[in-house]
Protein backbone atom coordinates (compact mmCIF):
# COMPACT_ATOMS: atom_id res chain seq x y z
CA UNK A 1 0.00 0.00 0.00
CA UNK A 2 1.31 3.43 -0.87
CA UNK A 3 1.29 5.99 1.88
CA UNK A 4 0.51 9.35 0.23
CA UNK A 5 -0.14 11.96 2.90
CA UNK A 6 0.23 9.53 5.79
CA UNK A 7 3.18 10.19 8.05
CA UNK A 8 2.17 7.48 10.53
CA UNK A 9 0.04 4.45 9.65
CA UNK A 10 -3.62 5.12 10.55
CA UNK A 11 -3.61 2.03 12.71
CA UNK A 12 -0.93 3.50 14.93
CA UNK A 13 -1.98 7.13 14.82
CA UNK A 14 -5.60 6.46 15.76
CA UNK A 15 -5.32 3.54 18.13
CA UNK A 16 -6.56 3.84 21.68
CA UNK A 17 -3.75 2.84 24.00
CA UNK A 18 -3.14 3.08 27.72
CA UNK A 19 -3.85 6.52 29.12
CA UNK A 20 -5.88 7.69 26.13
CA UNK A 21 -8.13 10.61 26.97
CA UNK A 22 -10.94 11.45 24.58
CA UNK A 23 -11.20 14.96 25.98
CA UNK A 24 -7.66 15.67 24.79
CA UNK A 25 -8.37 14.87 21.14
CA UNK A 26 -9.48 17.71 18.90
CA UNK A 27 -12.16 16.43 16.49
CA UNK A 28 -10.70 18.64 13.76
CA UNK A 29 -7.29 17.01 13.91
CA UNK A 30 -6.03 14.60 11.25
CA UNK A 31 -3.65 12.38 13.24
CA UNK A 32 -0.99 10.71 11.15
CA UNK A 33 -2.03 12.52 8.01
CA UNK A 34 -0.50 15.62 6.50
CA UNK A 35 -2.75 16.69 3.73
CA UNK A 36 -5.75 18.71 2.73
CA UNK A 37 -9.31 17.91 1.76
CA UNK A 38 -8.12 17.78 -1.83
CA UNK A 39 -5.27 15.33 -1.27
CA UNK A 40 -7.55 13.38 1.08
CA UNK A 41 -10.14 12.89 -1.64
CA UNK A 42 -7.43 11.82 -4.08
CA UNK A 43 -5.97 9.38 -1.55
CA UNK A 44 -9.43 7.97 -0.88
CA UNK A 45 -9.95 7.37 -4.60
CA UNK A 46 -6.50 5.81 -4.82
CA UNK A 47 -7.38 3.33 -2.12
CA UNK A 48 -10.48 2.01 -3.86
CA UNK A 49 -8.86 -0.39 -6.38
CA UNK A 50 -6.78 -1.99 -3.63
CA UNK A 51 -9.74 -2.31 -1.30
CA UNK A 52 -11.73 -3.73 -4.16
CA UNK A 53 -9.04 -6.26 -5.04
CA UNK A 54 -8.55 -7.42 -1.46
CA UNK A 55 -12.29 -7.70 -0.94
CA UNK A 56 -12.73 -9.73 -4.11
CA UNK A 57 -9.98 -12.12 -3.06
CA UNK A 58 -11.62 -12.59 0.31
CA UNK A 59 -14.97 -13.14 -1.38
CA UNK A 60 -13.40 -15.63 -3.79
CA UNK A 61 -12.20 -17.61 -0.79
CA UNK A 62 -15.69 -17.63 0.65
CA UNK A 63 -17.05 -19.03 -2.60
CA UNK A 64 -14.27 -21.60 -2.82
CA UNK A 65 -14.86 -22.55 0.82
CA UNK A 66 -11.27 -21.75 1.76
CA UNK A 67 -11.81 -18.48 3.62
CA UNK A 68 -10.51 -18.59 7.16
CA UNK A 69 -11.12 -15.01 8.09
CA UNK A 70 -13.47 -12.10 7.83
CA UNK A 71 -13.50 -8.46 8.82
CA UNK A 72 -15.94 -6.75 11.12
CA UNK A 73 -16.08 -2.97 11.05
CA UNK A 74 -17.89 -1.60 14.09
CA UNK A 75 -19.03 2.01 13.75
CA UNK A 76 -19.96 4.08 16.77
CA UNK A 77 -20.39 7.81 17.20
CA UNK A 78 -22.84 10.48 18.23
CA UNK A 79 -25.72 11.41 15.92
CA UNK A 80 -24.49 13.09 12.72
CA UNK A 81 -20.95 11.82 13.25
CA UNK A 82 -20.99 10.32 9.76
CA UNK A 83 -21.58 6.59 10.21
CA UNK A 84 -23.91 6.50 7.22
CA UNK A 85 -21.42 8.38 5.09
CA UNK A 86 -18.76 5.77 5.88
CA UNK A 87 -21.12 3.00 4.82
CA UNK A 88 -22.00 4.85 1.66
CA UNK A 89 -18.64 6.20 0.56
CA UNK A 90 -16.09 3.77 1.97
CA UNK A 91 -17.85 0.42 2.20
CA UNK A 92 -20.11 1.28 -0.74
CA UNK A 93 -17.10 1.30 -3.05
CA UNK A 94 -16.75 -2.49 -2.97
CA UNK A 95 -18.97 -5.23 -4.34
CA UNK A 96 -22.15 -5.39 -2.23
CA UNK A 97 -22.13 -9.18 -2.59
CA UNK A 98 -19.17 -9.35 -0.24
CA UNK A 99 -20.58 -7.06 2.43
CA UNK A 100 -22.92 -7.89 5.29
CA UNK A 101 -24.37 -4.72 6.77
CA UNK A 102 -26.21 -4.71 10.08
CA UNK A 103 -27.84 -1.59 11.43
CA UNK A 104 -28.74 -1.87 15.11
CA UNK A 105 -31.69 0.21 16.23
CA UNK A 106 -33.54 0.27 19.52
CA UNK A 107 -33.89 -3.40 20.54
CA UNK A 108 -37.21 -5.09 19.82
CA UNK A 109 -39.34 -6.65 22.55
CA UNK A 110 -38.00 -10.07 21.54
CA UNK A 111 -34.39 -8.90 21.62
CA UNK A 112 -34.91 -7.46 25.09
CA UNK A 113 -35.89 -10.92 26.30
CA UNK A 114 -32.34 -12.06 25.53
CA UNK A 115 -28.86 -11.10 26.58
CA UNK A 116 -27.68 -7.92 24.84
CA UNK A 117 -25.22 -9.90 22.72
CA UNK A 118 -27.87 -12.27 21.36
CA UNK A 119 -28.85 -10.10 18.41
CA UNK A 120 -25.23 -9.16 17.83
CA UNK A 121 -23.91 -12.72 17.58
CA UNK A 122 -26.48 -13.51 14.90
CA UNK A 123 -25.06 -10.80 12.66
CA UNK A 124 -21.36 -11.64 12.87
CA UNK A 125 -20.00 -11.83 9.33
CA UNK A 126 -19.63 -15.16 7.56
CA UNK A 127 -16.15 -16.30 6.60
CA UNK A 128 -14.89 -14.32 3.62
CA UNK A 129 -17.24 -11.41 4.17
CA UNK A 130 -16.82 -7.85 5.37
CA UNK A 131 -19.33 -7.22 8.12
CA UNK A 132 -20.30 -3.69 9.04
CA UNK A 133 -22.13 -2.78 12.24
CA UNK A 134 -23.81 0.63 12.11
CA UNK A 135 -24.09 0.99 15.88
CA UNK A 136 -23.57 -2.19 17.84
CA UNK A 137 -23.41 -3.89 21.23
CA UNK A 138 -21.64 -0.76 22.41
CA UNK A 139 -24.96 1.05 22.53
CA UNK A 140 -25.64 -1.15 25.54
CA UNK A 141 -22.84 0.53 27.47
CA UNK A 142 -23.41 4.00 25.97
CA UNK A 143 -27.07 4.97 25.88
CA UNK A 144 -27.53 2.00 28.22
CA UNK A 145 -25.29 3.66 30.77
CA UNK A 146 -26.30 7.26 30.19
CA UNK A 147 -30.01 6.51 30.34
CA UNK A 148 -29.74 3.73 32.96
CA UNK A 149 -31.55 1.30 30.68
CA UNK A 150 -30.24 -1.60 32.76
CA UNK A 151 -29.20 -1.93 36.43
CA UNK A 152 -25.75 -0.59 37.20
CA UNK A 153 -24.29 -4.04 37.93
CA UNK A 154 -25.58 -5.33 34.60
CA UNK A 155 -23.96 -2.41 32.73
CA UNK A 156 -20.79 -3.18 34.65
CA UNK A 157 -20.96 -6.86 33.69
CA UNK A 158 -21.19 -5.99 30.02
CA UNK A 159 -17.65 -4.66 29.63
CA UNK A 160 -16.23 -8.05 30.52
CA UNK A 161 -18.85 -9.85 28.44
CA UNK A 162 -17.90 -7.74 25.42
CA UNK A 163 -14.23 -8.45 25.93
CA UNK A 164 -14.84 -12.21 25.99
CA UNK A 165 -17.24 -12.02 23.05
CA UNK A 166 -14.77 -10.16 20.87
CA UNK A 167 -11.85 -12.34 21.94
CA UNK A 168 -13.86 -15.34 20.85
CA UNK A 169 -14.74 -13.69 17.53
CA UNK A 170 -11.09 -12.86 16.93
CA UNK A 171 -10.19 -16.43 17.82
CA UNK A 172 -12.50 -17.65 15.08
CA UNK A 173 -10.77 -15.45 12.51
CA UNK A 174 -12.83 -12.27 12.62
CA UNK A 175 -10.69 -9.15 12.46
CA UNK A 176 -12.59 -6.68 14.56
CA UNK A 177 -12.00 -3.03 13.61
CA UNK A 178 -13.75 -0.75 16.09
CA UNK A 179 -14.13 2.87 15.08
CA UNK A 180 -15.47 5.73 17.12
CA UNK A 181 -16.25 8.70 14.90
CA UNK A 182 -15.51 11.64 17.14
CA UNK A 183 -17.24 14.94 16.43
CA UNK A 184 -17.42 18.10 18.49
CA UNK A 185 -20.60 19.37 20.03
CA UNK A 186 -20.41 22.48 17.84
CA UNK A 187 -20.05 20.46 14.68
CA UNK A 188 -23.07 18.39 15.64
CA UNK A 189 -25.08 21.56 16.09
CA UNK A 190 -24.18 22.69 12.59
CA UNK A 191 -25.03 19.32 11.08
CA UNK A 192 -28.37 19.13 12.86
CA UNK A 193 -29.16 22.71 11.84
CA UNK A 194 -28.42 21.82 8.22
CA UNK A 195 -30.96 19.02 8.47
CA UNK A 196 -33.59 21.39 9.78
CA UNK A 197 -32.84 23.95 7.09
CA UNK A 198 -33.59 21.70 4.14
CA UNK A 199 -37.00 20.00 3.76
CA UNK A 200 -35.43 17.05 1.92
CA UNK A 201 -33.28 16.47 5.01
CA UNK A 202 -36.07 16.71 7.57
CA UNK A 203 -36.39 12.91 7.69
CA UNK A 204 -32.87 12.69 9.05
CA UNK A 205 -33.79 14.80 12.05
CA UNK A 206 -35.48 13.57 15.18
CA UNK A 207 -36.44 15.75 18.16
CA UNK A 208 -34.87 13.08 20.35
CA UNK A 209 -31.50 14.07 18.87
CA UNK A 210 -31.58 17.29 20.89
CA UNK A 211 -32.54 15.37 24.03
CA UNK A 212 -29.47 13.19 23.63
CA UNK A 213 -27.41 16.28 22.85
CA UNK A 214 -28.32 17.72 26.25
CA UNK A 215 -26.50 14.72 27.73
CA UNK A 216 -23.35 15.31 25.68
CA UNK A 217 -20.97 15.28 28.63
CA UNK A 218 -22.51 12.10 29.99
CA UNK A 219 -22.05 10.46 26.61
CA UNK A 220 -18.45 11.56 26.40
CA UNK A 221 -17.87 10.09 29.86
CA UNK A 222 -19.51 6.82 28.80
CA UNK A 223 -17.34 6.71 25.65
CA UNK A 224 -14.25 7.29 27.77
CA UNK A 225 -15.09 4.34 30.03
CA UNK A 226 -15.90 2.20 27.00
CA UNK A 227 -12.57 3.02 25.35
CA UNK A 228 -10.64 2.29 28.53
CA UNK A 229 -12.32 -0.99 29.25
CA UNK A 230 -12.82 -2.54 25.84
CA UNK A 231 -9.80 -1.52 23.78
CA UNK A 232 -7.91 -4.80 23.73
CA UNK A 233 -4.99 -6.21 21.78
CA UNK A 234 -7.22 -8.40 19.65
CA UNK A 235 -9.96 -5.80 19.21
CA UNK A 236 -8.56 -2.31 19.73
CA UNK A 237 -10.55 0.89 19.42
CA UNK A 238 -9.63 3.56 16.93
CA UNK A 239 -10.87 7.05 17.58
CA UNK A 240 -11.24 8.90 14.29
CA UNK A 241 -11.65 12.68 14.52
CA UNK A 242 -14.69 13.29 12.37
CA UNK A 243 -15.37 17.00 12.17
CA UNK A 244 -13.73 16.75 8.76
CA UNK A 245 -15.70 14.15 6.86
CA UNK A 246 -13.00 13.69 4.26
CA UNK A 247 -10.52 12.67 6.92
CA UNK A 248 -12.89 10.27 8.64
CA UNK A 249 -13.60 8.46 5.38
CA UNK A 250 -9.97 8.28 4.43
CA UNK A 251 -8.97 7.03 7.87
CA UNK A 252 -11.60 4.28 7.98
CA UNK A 253 -10.62 3.16 4.49
CA UNK A 254 -7.00 2.85 5.67
CA UNK A 255 -8.05 0.85 8.72
CA UNK A 256 -10.04 -1.51 6.51
CA UNK A 257 -7.15 -1.84 4.09
CA UNK A 258 -4.80 -2.68 6.94
CA UNK A 259 -7.15 -5.37 8.29
CA UNK A 260 -7.52 -6.95 4.85
CA UNK A 261 -3.81 -6.72 4.28
CA UNK A 262 -3.29 -8.69 7.49
CA UNK A 263 -5.51 -11.45 6.20
CA UNK A 264 -3.62 -11.27 2.91
CA UNK A 265 -6.25 -13.28 1.01
CA UNK A 266 -4.86 -15.25 -1.94
CA UNK A 267 -6.82 -16.30 -4.99
CA UNK A 268 -8.11 -19.82 -4.39
CA UNK A 269 -6.32 -22.56 -6.28
CA UNK A 270 -8.56 -24.60 -8.58
CA UNK A 271 -9.72 -27.83 -6.95
CA UNK A 272 -10.36 -29.29 -10.41
CA UNK A 273 -8.10 -30.22 -13.34
CA UNK A 274 -7.93 -27.00 -15.37
CA UNK A 275 -6.64 -28.60 -18.58
CA UNK A 276 -9.22 -31.33 -18.48
CA UNK A 277 -12.00 -28.75 -17.95
CA UNK A 278 -10.75 -26.76 -20.92
CA UNK A 279 -11.20 -29.89 -23.02
CA UNK A 280 -14.62 -30.67 -21.61
CA UNK A 281 -15.74 -27.11 -22.25
CA UNK A 282 -14.34 -27.05 -25.78
CA UNK A 283 -16.30 -30.14 -26.73
CA UNK A 284 -19.50 -28.97 -25.06
Residues engaged in binding a copy of itself (CB under 8 A): 60-61, 63-64, 84, 87-88, 91-92, 95-97, 99, 101, 103, 134, 189, 192-193, 196, 199-200, 202-207, 210, 213-214, 267-270, 272, 274, 277-278, 280-282, 284
Smaller CB distance to a copy of itself: residue 230 or 253? 253
Q: Give the closest residue to 148 by CA, choosing from 98, 202, 204, 218.
A: 218
Smaller CB distance to a copy of itself: residue 171 or 200? 200
With the C-alpha atoms ordered 237, 238, 244, 247, is the resulting torsion angle positive or negative? negative
Hey, what's the torsion of the CAs at 43, 45, 48, 49, to 10 degrees?
-100
Q: Give the closest residue to 68 by CA, choosing from 262, 252, 253.
A: 262
Where helices occur in 90-184 by DSSP H, the ranges are 109-112, 118-121, 143-146, 152-171
d(CA 250, CA 19): 25
CB of 166 to a copy of itself, least distance (A): 24
CB of 119 to a copy of itself, least distance (A): 16
CB of 191 to a copy of itself, least distance (A): 10
Smaller CB distance to a copy of itself: residue 49 or 92? 92
CB of 14 to a copy of itself, least distance (A): 24
Smaller CB distance to a copy of itself: residue 123 or 229? 123
Amino acid sequence: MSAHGWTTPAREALRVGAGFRLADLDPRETPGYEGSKTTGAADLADGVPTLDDLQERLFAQSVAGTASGSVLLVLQGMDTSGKGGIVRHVVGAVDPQGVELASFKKPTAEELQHDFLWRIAKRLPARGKIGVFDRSHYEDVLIGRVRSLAPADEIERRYGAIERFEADAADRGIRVVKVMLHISKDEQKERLAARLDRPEKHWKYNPGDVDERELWDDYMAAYQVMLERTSTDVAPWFVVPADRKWFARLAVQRLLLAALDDIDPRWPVADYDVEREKERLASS
